[in-house]
Amino acid sequence: MDLKKLSSQGDELWKRSDKLNAEFFALSYGAMVVQLVKDYEDYAQVNQQLDKMGYNIGMRLIEDLLARTGQGRCSEFREVGEVVSKVAFKMFLGYSPHVSHNPQVTSGLREFTLSFDENVLAEFVELPEDALGAHIKPGAAAANEPGSVGGLWYSQILCGVIRGALEMVLSLSFQPRRTKKRKNLLIKSPIPLASHPPSCPSQVGMAVEAKFVSDVLRGDDTTEIKVRLIKHLDDEVPQGDD
């Protein structure tokens, strides 16, 4: 795994992409979150809806990534984290979160953490006090990690995107199909796609858990998403979140 090559690939893909105005993007996302809060009046349900939206977006964005990179099967879950950070996030949002791996695991690594120094979704945002959730200390029985729980996870859509993209890898690999030009649902404007994603019979989809463990919007010191591998999907095809 060549980390410099992955970083360069992400940089080149971002440079060649037409961009949407980041301020407009952030404000549009914010308006959507506000509407969800009004509709559901329950932060837990808003988090769930954002995750579902992200899941369905991720199932489509992976088409762009595979078509434009020809990315083959990752040899280990550590490599998945590097591709997500250095290629996928850079390609769609223009920045790469720092990725760290559990130092206690020497083989068969099954989780990674993405740490964000910037988050385009959270620009111009200040959460009301009732949305901040409850802070927990390291070693707490509920999560065994510092951060906060409950309340609104404002950027929860990112967790859904990661989850949907990694699950969708399999069905794209074994069932390549023609795609039309599609409006990218994150930061870029419409781009031309290849006639179909590259066929990679050795590619394997992954069911993962992706969740925020901290967010500076909620008063935490860092913004972090933890991604944990649940299982490889083999020949199962994702059904999508309704």
**Rounded Cα–Cα distance for residues 57 and 53 (Å):** 6
Q: Please check whether residue 239 lies inside any domain of the structure.
A: no
Exposure b/e, 44-83, CB count within 10 A at least 16 = b: eebbbbbbbbbbbbbbbbbbbbbbbbebeebeebbbbbbb
As given in the structure block, the two tokens for residue 172 are: 């794209």
Which range marks the domain in which residue 149 is found? 3-232
Q: Please check whether residue 55 lies inside any domain of the structure.
A: yes
Give residue 205's pLDDT band: very low, low, confident or very high (50, 70, 90): confident
Residues pairing with 135 in the sheet: 148
Secondary structure (3-state) at 190 = coil
**Rounded Cα–Cα distance for residues 89 and 106 (Å):** 26
Per residue in 139-184, pLDDT (tens digit) is: 544 444 556 678 999 999 999 999 999 998 754 443 434 444 444 4
- Mean pLDDT: which of 3-17, 146-160, 177-191, 217-231 is highest? 217-231
Between 112-116, 134-138, 164-168, 233-237, the lowest mean confidence (pLDDT) is in: 233-237
Phi and psi angles of residue 75, each rounded to the nearest 5 degrees, phi first: -75, -25
Q: Please check whether residue 237 lies inside any domain of the structure.
A: no
Q: Please check whether residue 137 lies inside any domain of the structure.
A: yes
56: pLDDT strictly greater than 90: yes
Domain count, the chain: 1
CATH number of the domain at 90, please. Answer: 3.30.1380.20
Query: In this predicted model, which residue has the larger pLDDT, 51 or 132?
Result: 51
As given in the structure block, the two tokens for residue 91 are: 């390609």
Q: Please check whether residue 240 lies inside any domain of the structure.
A: no
Q: Please check whether residue 71 lies inside any domain of the structure.
A: yes
Q: Please check whether residue 22 lies inside any domain of the structure.
A: yes
Contacts with 49 (C-beta within 8 Å, 6 or more apart), sequence order? 36, 40
Between 73-77, 206-210, 237-241, the lowest mean confidence (pLDDT) is in: 237-241
Q: Please check whether residue 242 lies inside any domain of the structure.
A: no
Which residue carries 């490889």 as its tokens? 232
Mean pLDDT, to the nearest integer, of 194-198?
Answer: 38
Q: What angle do CA 29, 33, 36 make, to 5 degrees?
A: 140
Give residue 69's pLDDT band: very low, low, confident or very high (50, 70, 90): confident
